[in-house]
Amino acid sequence: MYAFNYHAPKTVRQAATLLAKNEEGKVLAGGQTLLPTMKQRLASPSALIDLNHAEGMTGIEQKGRNIVIGAMTRHVEVATSAVVKNAIPGLAALAEGIGDAAVRNRGTIGGSIANNDPAADYPSAALALNATIITNKRKITADEFFQGMFATALEEGEIIVKVSFPIPSKAAYEKFPNPASRYALVGVFVAKKGSDVRVAVTGAGSNGVFRSKECEAALASRFNAKALDGVKVAASGLNADMHASADYRAHLIPVMAKRAVEKATAK
- Contact residues: other proteins, CB under 8 A: 1-6, 8, 28, 31-32, 35-36, 38-40, 48, 50, 52-53, 76, 80, 99-103, 105-106, 182
Residues 175 and 121 sit within 8 Å (Cβ to Cβ): yes
Tell me the closest approach of the beta carbon of residue 182 to other proteins, in angstroms. 7
Q: How far apart are CA 189 and CA 49, in angstroms?
A: 32
CB of 2 to other proteins, least distance (A): 8
Which residues, 6 or more positions from 89, have their beta carbon under 8 angstroms from its beta carbon? Answer: 171, 172
Query: Taking Cα atoms as reference points, which of 35, 111, 102 lies closest to residue 69?
Result: 111
Q: Which is nearer to other proteins, 28 or 197 (CB)?
A: 28
CB of 12 to other proteins, least distance (A): 17
Of 35 and 246, CB closest to other proteins = 35
DSSP for residue 152: B
Minimum Å distance from CB 263 to other proteins?
17
**Shorter beta-carbon distance to other proteins: residue 100 or 156:** 100
Considering the complex, state which of residue 74 and residue 170 has its C-beta at the smaller distance from other proteins: 74
Under DSSP, the state recorded for 51 is: G
* Alpha-carbon gap, residue 171 to 149, rounded angstroms: 25
